C-alpha cells in the first residue's frame, strides 16, 4: 500500500521522514548488525536533522504533487515522491556548500560548519542513496518503480555535469558570445534536472501518457531554469540576498546576471564590466558597488526573461491539460515561485 502525503504546509516533510528512518532498525543496517542508536544518531541522523529542519519553500515537492494530479492520479500524491526529490535537493545543497566553501545556508551556518566536513559530506552523500530505499518500500508496481529509478539516475547524473561546470568555469575565461550558452547549459543540467525530476516523478507515478509526461518534464526543466534566474537576479537586486550575489561576484561565476549583460551590451561596455569584476576579485573594489551597477543594467531585462519563460511554460501545460482542476494550483505555485527571493 502506498502512503499518501499529508499537507506540505505542516512540519518539514523531509525532517519528519528522517526522524522515522532513524528509528527504522530493520533495513538500516545490513545483516542485523547491532549498533547503539546513540552512535548512529551522532554519526548520521543528528546532522541530517539539523540540515532538514531549516525552512525551505519545497517547490519541487509541490510540483511533484501537481504533476501527479494533472496526470490523473487519484487522491493525494504518494508522499514518497516528495521525499525523494527533497532528499536529493538537500543532499545537493550540503555537498554544494562544501564544494563552494560557503558559510551560511538559509540564515544559519552550513552543515559542514556545524558538524565538520567529514560528517556533513557523508550525510549529503547518504541523501543521494536513501531515495532508493524509500522507493523500494513504496509499493509501486514493478514497471512504475523501474521508470522512477531510471528518472532518478538520469537526473542525478545530469546534476553532476552541471555542478562540474558550476565549480570550474569562470566568466573571465568565456568569450562574450559564449556566456549565455554556458550559463543556460549549466542551469539546465544542475537546477533544471532536479526540477524536471520532480515533475517526471509525479507524472510517471500516475502512469501519464507519453505526450503528457513530456510536457510536464519540460515544464519542470523550465521552472528549474526560472528558479536559477531568480536566484541570480535577487542576489544582486534584493538587499537581504546580496551575500549570495557577493559570493558569486568574488568567485567570478558565470551567472544569469552576466548572461543578460552579455546579450545587452556592446563589446566595449561588456569589457568595462569585466574590468570592474577583476578589480573586485583583486580586493580593490567593494563587490556591492559592482552589484548595484549590474542591477541597474539588467534587472528589467532579467525580470522580463523570467516572466516570458513562466508564461510560455504555463501556455504549453494549459494546451495539454485544458480542463484539469490542478491548473489553478499550478498557477498559484508559479506566482509563488516568481516572488522567490523578493
Which tens digit of pLDDT belongs to each residue from 183-194? 999 999 999 999
What 3-state DSSP class applies to 6?
Answer: coil
Confidence of residue 217 (pLDDT cuts 50, 70, 90): very high
Indicate the residue among 139, 162, 189 that finishes a domain: 139
- Asked if 120 and 94 touch (Cβ cutoff 8 Å), the reply is yes
64 within some domain: no
Confidence of residue 337 (pLDDT cuts 50, 70, 90): confident
User: What pLDDT is attached to residue 245?
Assistant: 86
Whether 196 and 313 map to the same domain: the answer is yes
CB atoms within 10 A of CB 67: 33
Range of the domain at 325: 141-342
Indicate the residue among 139, 161, 185 that finishes a domain: 139
The CATH number of the domain where 241 resides is what?
Answer: 1.10.600.10
Confidence of residue 54 (pLDDT cuts 50, 70, 90): confident
Handedness of CA 70, 74, 77, 78 (dihedral sign): negative
Indicate the residue among 123, 139, 155 that finishes a domain: 139
- Name 109's bridge partners: 104
What crossing angle do the helices spanning 193-205 and 210-237 adopt, rounded to 10°?
A: 150
Domain count of the fold of the chain: 2
Whether 187 and 333 map to the same domain: the answer is yes
Whether 171 and 299 map to the same domain: the answer is yes
User: What pLDDT is attached to residue 4?
Assistant: 36
Whether 121 and 201 map to the same domain: the answer is no
Whether 251 and 151 map to the same domain: the answer is yes
Whether 122 and 205 map to the same domain: the answer is no
Based on the number of CB atoms within 10 Å of its own CB, is 177 exposed (0-12), middle (13-18) or buried (19 or more)? exposed
Distance of CA 60 to the CA centre of its chain: 7
Across the chain, what does the average pLDDT equal?
Answer: 90
73 within some domain: no
User: What pLDDT is attached to residue 57?
Assistant: 76
User: What pLDDT is attached to residue 44?
Assistant: 93
Owner of C-alpha cell 522567490? 340
249 within some domain: yes
Whether 244 and 265 map to the same domain: the answer is yes
Q: Mean pLDDT over residues 282-286, rounded?
A: 93
pTM: 0.90
Task: Kindly tell me the number of DSSP H helices and DSSP E strands found in the chain.
Answer: 16, 2
Whether 163 and 311 map to the same domain: the answer is yes
168 within some domain: yes
Whether 113 and 227 map to the same domain: the answer is no
User: What pLDDT is attached to residue 341?
Assistant: 60
130 within some domain: yes
User: What pLDDT is attached to residue 247?
Assistant: 87
- Asked if 58 and 89 touch (Cβ cutoff 8 Å), the reply is no
69 within some domain: no
Whether 135 and 151 map to the same domain: the answer is no
Dist. CA 81–CA 87, nearest whole Å? 10
Amino acid at each position: 500500500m502506498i502512503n499518501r502525503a499529508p499537507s506540505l504546509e505542516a512540519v518539514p516533510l523531509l525532517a519528519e521522514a528522517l526522524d522515522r528512518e532513524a528509528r527504522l532498525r530493520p533495513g538500516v543496517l545490513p545483516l542485523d548488525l547491532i549498533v547503539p542508536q546513540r552512535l548512529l544518531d551522532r554519526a548520521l541522523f543528528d546532522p541530517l536533522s539539523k540540515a532538514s529542519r531549516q525552512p525551505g519553500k519545497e517547490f519541487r515537492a509541490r510540483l511533484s504533487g501537481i504533476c501527479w494530479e494533472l496526470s490523473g492520479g487519484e487522491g493525494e500524491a504518494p508522499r514518497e515522491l516528495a521525499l525523494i526529490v527533497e532528499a536529493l535537493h538537500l543532499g545537493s545543497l550540503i555537498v554544494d556548500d562544501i564544494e563552494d566553501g560557503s558559510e551560511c545556508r538559509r540564515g544559519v551556518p552550513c552543515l559542514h560548519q556545524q558538524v565538520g566536513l567529514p560528517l556533513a559530506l557523508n550525510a549529503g552523500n547518504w541523501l543521494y542513496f536513501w531515495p532508493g530505499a524509500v522507493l523500494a518500500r513504496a509499493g509501486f508496481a514493478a514497471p512504475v518503480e523501474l521508470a522512477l529509478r531510471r528518472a532518478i539516475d538520469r537526473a542525478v547524473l545530469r546534476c553532476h555535469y552541471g555542478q562540474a561546470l558550476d565549480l570550474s568555469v569562470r566568466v573571465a575565461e568565456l568569450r562574450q558570445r559564449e556566456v549565455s550558452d554556458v550559463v543556460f547549459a549549466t542551469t539546465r543540467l544542475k537546477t533544471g534536472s532536479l526540477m524536471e525530476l520532480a515533475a517526471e516523478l509525479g507524472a510517471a507515478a500516475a502512469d501519464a501518457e507519453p505526450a503528457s509526461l513530456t510536457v510536464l518534464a519540460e515544464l519542470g526543466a523550465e521552472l528549474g531554469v526560472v528558479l536559477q534566474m531568480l536566484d541570480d537576479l535577487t542576489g544582486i537586486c534584493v538587499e537581504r540576498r546580496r551575500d549570495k550575489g557577493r559570493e558569486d561576484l568574488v568567485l567570478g561565476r558565470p551567472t544569469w546576471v552576466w548572461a543578460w549583460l552579455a546579450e545587452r551590451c556592446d563589446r566595449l561596455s561588456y569589457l568595462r564590466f569585466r574590468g570592474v569584476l577583476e578589480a573586485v576579485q583583486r580586493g580593490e573594489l567593494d563587490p556591492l558597488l559592482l552589484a548595484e551597477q549590474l542591477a541597474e543594467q539588467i534587472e528589467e531585462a532579467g525580470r522580463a526573461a523570467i516572466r516570458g519563460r513562466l508564461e510560455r511554460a504555463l501556455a504549453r501545460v494549459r494546451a495539454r491539460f485544458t480542463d484539469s482542476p490542478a491548473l489553478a494550483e499550478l498557477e498559484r505555485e508559479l506566482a509563488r515561485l516568481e516572488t522567490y527571493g523578493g
